[in-house]
Amino acid sequence: MQESGGHTLKAFDEDIGQLRALICEMGGLAEHAISEAMRALMQRDVEGARAVVEADARLDALEAEAEAGVVRLIALRAPMADDLRDAVAALKIAAVVERIGDYAKNIAKRVSLLEGRGRIEPLSMLPEMARIAAEMVHNVLDAFVERDAAKAREVCERDRALDDFYNSIFRALLTFMMENPQNITEAAHLLFVARNLERIGDHATNIAEMVVYAATGERMGERQKGLDPEAGR
Amino acid sequence: MNEPTDTLTRNKMSARGVSVFYGDKPAVRDVSIEVSAEHVTAFIGPSGCGKSTFLRAFNRMNDTIAGARVEGRIELDGEDIYASGMDVVQLRARVGMVFQKPNPFPKSIYENVAYGPRIHGLAAGKAELDGIVEGSLRRAGLWEEVKDRLQESGTALSGGQQQRLCIARAIAVDPEVILMDEPASALDPIATAKIEELIHELRGRYAIVIVTHNMQQAARVSQRTAFFHLGELVEYGETSEIFTNPRVQRTKDYITGRYG
């Protein structure tokens, strides 16, 4: 939907601008957490992983701030139409981004548990998967800020690639576990890492749906959302 | 323009291609709309958009304004209200009106309500008239506040009470439609809330059309909203749709506070 002029009441525009900036900052932190957690995992950097875990507190604080901002906006500005949809989307997106941060934190927490263990091959697929997940988060928040429904729909399309990755990593790890029980601990951790990344993709897709709704007022159809990789198996 | 999609409602009044002129100048242009019997319909729009002028066409209030002229057709239950045989006094009993400023007669509370039924011969005797007065004041949510002082002047009431008295007066003649032109804009928030609650209670019994500048009020009391701009009906639909997802840019700009 085309952007019209600013509100007659300028303070309204400022409030909405601040809210978007906040969501953007959260998105940046979550994206950074994903790539840092993956870097720490690949390099077995326990210190770096700890930094990711600690940085998550900031995301939690920002989520609380965004929630307070939305409540204030609704109470004081009585937003209507696209403004109202924007406010509701911001509230939900903040919660989802916080959750994405939790998944990244979970990946980081596994780094110390893997210390001293061997490396198995499927590990090499994870950085690319993490890159896609982080990019989805990045793009979907860009789409939110730009109110760009088309860009949000593209994010949903990418979720399929992530699901494909997850399925092949799942099979590969299963094979490794069957070949040598010694691999089971590491393989199980990596399976969780892959699962976390796959969930991040799903959450980015959820955000995309909210962006589409905020921007157009239309709900995305079930078909557009991408299928659950485990459904139907 | 999107029309309300529910088909379960009965239309009480309908306007077909209605224009209203003051002299040569059109204040309302070619408006067609259906007013549901069961719903509260809100007309919103900026000052001068023609919403009040259009509302007044629904009971021929514009007839009293020199130089005002109505084109098109307005029907009440399918009957053309501008037809030559239409009794305007009778029409205004069927289609009552409540104005922005409470305008009780400078008479007692009782007389304010009894006046209409009396001139329309709706009551056979004193007892029946008393019953109508009490019933109307009850429905207007005013009875408990005034039952012990019915002989006091209507103008001695507070603004909010006066407005409810005017609503009691309007419903005393058992109308089918009540038109409200900014009924709460001169009232404080508490009195406004009482009027809104009253509108909610009256809904279903009467078809109600309300003109309001207060969009939150339109959102609170109505099930359907029509947005007017520059004398045109821009968008008409379910209130929940209009306020969450308007289809027309002009509507969106207005309700989000970007207009002008």
| CA–CA distances in Å: residue B190 to residues B87, B183, B187 | 38, 14, 8
- Which chain A residues touch B258 with a CB distance below 8 Å? 4-8
**Could you tell me the pLDDT band of residue A222, with boundaries at 50, 70 and 90?**
low
- Which chain A residues touch B245 with a CB distance below 8 Å? 81, 85, 217
Say if residue A5's pLDDT is above 70. Answer: yes
A56-60, B172-176, B253-257: which range is least confident on average?
A: B253-257
Identify the pLDDT of residue A31.
96
Identify the pLDDT of residue B247.
93
The mean pLDDT value of chain A amounts to 90
- Is the ipTM higher than 0.90? The answer is no
**Could you tell me the pLDDT band of residue A220, with boundaries at 50, 70 and 90?**
confident
Are the Cβ atoms of B244 and A9 closer than 8 angstroms? no
Identify the pLDDT of residue A178.
92
Cα–Cα dist A60/A206, whole Å:
19
**pLDDT tens-digit series, residues A99-127:** 999 999 999 999 999 888 878 887 888 99
Identify the pLDDT of residue A229.
47
A10-19, A34-43, B146-155: which range is least confident on average?
A: A10-19
Segment B25-46 mean pLDDT:
95
- Residues belonging to chain B with any Cβ–Cβ distance to chain A shorter than 8 Å: 215-216, 219, 243-246, 249, 251-253, 255-260
Work out the percent of chain A whose per-residue pLDDT is above 70. Answer: 93
Say if residue A78's pLDDT is above 50. Answer: yes
Q: Is A232 exposed, middle or buried (0-12, 13-18, 19+ CB in 10 A)?
A: exposed
Task: Quote the Cα angle for A26-A30-A32, to 5°.
Answer: 115
Q: Which of A3, A4, A14, A80 is the best mutation test for B, with the most CBs of B within 10 A?
A: A80
Say if residue B152's pLDDT is above 90. Answer: yes
Segment B111-119 mean pLDDT:
95
**pLDDT tens-digit series, residues A12-26:** 888 899 999 999 999
**Could you tell me the pLDDT band of residue B186, with boundaries at 50, 70 and 90?**
confident
- Which chain A residues touch B244 with a CB distance below 8 Å? 80-81, 84-85, 217
Say if residue B249's pLDDT is above 50. Answer: yes
- Name the residue among A2, A9, A85 with its Cβ closest to that of B257: A9
Identify the pLDDT of residue A34.
97
**The dihedral sign for the CA sequence B230, B236, B240, B242:** negative
> Quick one: tokens of B150?
């019915």
**Could you tell me the pLDDT band of residue B8, with boundaries at 50, 70 and 90?**
low
Identify the pLDDT of residue A221.
75
For A130-152, b/e burial (b = at least 16 CB within 10 A) is: bebbbbbbbbbbbbbeebbbebb
Q: What ranges in B95-158 are assigned the alpha helix state H?
A: 109-119, 126-139, 143-146
- Among B107, B135, B109, B105, which residue's Cα sits nearest to residue B123? B135
- Name the residue among A9, A12, A81 with its Cβ closest to that of B252: A81
Are the Cβ atoms of B256 and A79 closer than 8 angstroms? yes
- Among B142, B128, B190, B212, which residue's Cα sits nearest to residue B170? B142
Segment A198-212 mean pLDDT:
96
Are the Cβ atoms of B258 and A82 closer than 8 angstroms? no
> Quick one: tokens of A213?
């709704």
Are the Cβ atoms of B257 and A84 closer than 8 angstroms? no
Say if residue B260's pLDDT is above 80. Answer: no
For A85, the closest chain B residue by CA position comes to: B244
Identify the pLDDT of residue A233.
37
Work out the percent of chain B whose per-residue pLDDT is above 70. Answer: 97
Segment B71-97 mean pLDDT:
94
Pairing of strands B224-229, B40-44: parallel
Identify the pLDDT of residue B259.
72
For A2, the closest chain B residue by CA position comes to: B249
**Could you tell me the pLDDT band of residue A9, with boundaries at 50, 70 and 90?**
confident
pTM of the model: 0.80
For B242, the closest chain A residue by CA position comes to: A81
